[in-house]
A and B are shown apart, each in its own frame.
Chain A
C-alpha cells in the first residue's frame, strides 16, 4: 500500500468537494437500500408463502365472501390435509393512524396451517378457552406497549361498526426474520356472535395445506370445479401466486421501484463521473509529472480508479449504515402501512456492489483520459 498515501492525499485535496461527493453517494445508497427494502416487503408474501399451501377466495374478488359450509366439501377432496378459514376485520386501535391487520381465525386449525408462527402452548390454550381472547404479533405488542392480560378496544366500521373489546391472551413470534409479526388474531365464535345475521356463515378466504405440493395444481382445479356454477364460485391458487396477485393490486410496484432505483443509479454515476473528470482536469500537470518521472499510464489510471473506488466505498458504506439505522425507525413511523421492512444481508451486499460498480464506471473514463494524456502536451499547457 505504498501508493495509499498518494491516493488519500489526492482525495483530501478538496475536502468540501469530497464531503459533498461522499454525501451524495451516501444519500443515494440510503435511498437505494430503502427502495430495495420496500420492494422486498411487497414481494415478501410470495417469498414466505408455504410451498404446500393453497388459498381459496371468491372467484369475483377477495372482498366477496365464501360460505363456511364449503369447508367439509373441500376437506373431502383427495390430497387436502388440513384447512382453516380467515376473515378481515379492518379495525383500528383508538385512532385511524393506529392501523394493523386483524384477522378472524379458526383456532382449531390455525397453528397447523401456519406452523411458522409460534405461540407458547399455555397462552394458546388460554386463548382457545377465552371467547374474547386475542393472540397478537410481537411487533404490534411492542408498538402499542401492550402486555399479555391487557384488555384492549378495537374500533371497526365493518360488521355493524362499534368498538370490540379483546383480552390479549398471548403473543406470537415468527420463526423467520421475514415473518410478519404485526397481525392480531381473534376467535371465529366471538366474531360470528357479534356480526349482523345477513353476513353470518360466510368467511373471507380459506387456506389449506396439501399432502404433496406437486399435487397442488390438480387439487386447486378440483376445488374450483367442485363449486363451479354455484352462487359462490371459487378461485384457488398457491399462496405465493395469491401473494403476488395481492401486490399487483397496488400497481406495478416492482417497475416503479426499479425505475426510481435506476434513476438514482445513473444520477450518482453522472455526479461521481463529473467529479472525477474535474479532479483529473485540475491536476493535468501533476499527472504529467508523475508520468515523466516514470509512473506508467496504467498506474496513473489506477490511481484515478482507486480514488473513485474509495469515494464509492466510503459513501456506500455510510449510506448503508444510515439505512441500517434509519429503516427500523421508518418502519415504525409508517405504522404498519407496509409489511416488515427488513434490510437483508443480501440487499446490503447488493448495495455495496452497486456502489463499487458506480465507483469503477465513474473512474474509468477519467482514468483512460489520464492514461492517454501525452506528457509533452500536458507539460506545455502548464
Chain B
C-alpha cells in the first residue's frame, strides 16, 4: 500500500536537476566526486517523495512499559532520473536517516522534517538516499525530552526503507543498500540518532553525525564513526552539551567548533537565535563536512581522513572567512597521557612514565566539566599556568617521559588537545597562545615545533555584547606531523623516543588546559 502510494507520488515528484561543475571528476560514474569538492552538488539530479506510513508504536517517555501510537511520516530525498526513478539499473545507494531538531512553534509543527532540504538534497545528489522523519509527533514532550522515542522513530524509518527496498512495486525496490546506513541529526534529533545507534538491534549503522545535539540522556556511543558540528553562538543548546557528548564517544570521531554559528541557522529557514555568520555559511560547512564524512564511512576512503582531521582544510567558499577549530581522535593511537588515571597523579603519565615540571606557576590535573570556570568537557585534563612577571627564570617546562625507547614511527602524528582559559589574566584577550613542543630521543637529539606553526591556540570565542551565551573554553586538537619534527632535526630517531616536552617559552604568561597527548594516525 505504502509502496504503491510512493510509486504514485514518485511520478509526481519534482526532479531537481543540479548544477554539476565537478561532474567531469566522477571516476567511472560511481557517483562519488573527488574529496576536494564535497561542498559542490554531486553528479545526480534529485527527487523527493513524501511518505505517510500510518501509525507506529513508541514507548511512553513516562513509562517504558506503555506504548504510544504516533503518526509516522516524512520525506525521502534520492538521486533520480528525469522520470523520477533512481538512476542506474540495479544500483543500490547507501541510506541516511535524518532526525530534525525540536521547534515546537505553530505553525511549524508537523513540518520540521522539511527543514534540512539544503543538506539532504545535497546528499542525494551525491548518490545517497536520505529519509527525513517527522519527530514533531513527540515534540509535545518538553520534559522528559523523549530522546529514546526519537531513536525508535529512526528505526521505524529504517524498517520502512527495508520494506520499500524489498517491495517490487516500490521505486526503491533493490535500490537501498541496507548494509550501508548512517544517521544524521540536529539538536534533539542529534541525540535521537545517538539513541538509535546506542539502542541498535544489530543494523549496520556505520556512522552517526550530529549538529548541536542535546545530551539529556548522557549517552556514550561506541561502534559507529562519529562527526559533530557545534556553533560557538548557539543560542539554544548553549550549555556545551555537544562537547560533552563528543568527549564520551569512542573514536574514530571528529568535531568542528564553528565560531559565529548558531543553532537554527543549520535549518533551511527557521529564525530563532542570531548568528555571527550567514546562514549560507552554515549550510556550506554542513554540506562539505558531512559529505566528506559520509564518503569516508560508506566508501572507506582513507584519502579523505586528513580533511576530517583538518590536517588539510576542506575547500569551500567560506574557508578562511569563518574560524573553525577541530577535535579529532583516531582509534589507532598510543595514548601517552589522557589524565584519566585514578588516583590522580600529575607525576605519572598514562604509559607509566615519569612526568616532571620546572618553574610552572600552577600545574594540576582536574575535571574539565566546570561551567562556572568556562569549561564544558567531559574529561580530565592538565592545567598549566606560567607568568614570568611573577616567577623567574623564564624557562618553565612540562616533560612527559616515555617507556624505554618508544617507537612512534608507525604513527604519523603527535596529537594533543589544548585550549586557553577564557578570562584568565595570564591570557591576552583575542590573542593566540603558543607553546614549543619538543621530542627528545635516546641520543639526546631534540626537535621542536611551535604550535603556532599549526595555527596557534585560539583565544576562546567572545560572545556578542549583551549576549547571555555562556563563555566557553573549548579544546582544539593539534595534530603535529612527525615529519615536521624531522624537518627541524633530521637525525631525530622516532624509533627510540625518550620524552615529549612542552616549553612555555613563547609568551610571557598563559593559562591553558591540555588533554589527550597521543601518537596517532
Our verdict on whether A and B bind, yes or no, reads no
Interface, chain B (partner A; CB < 8 A) = none
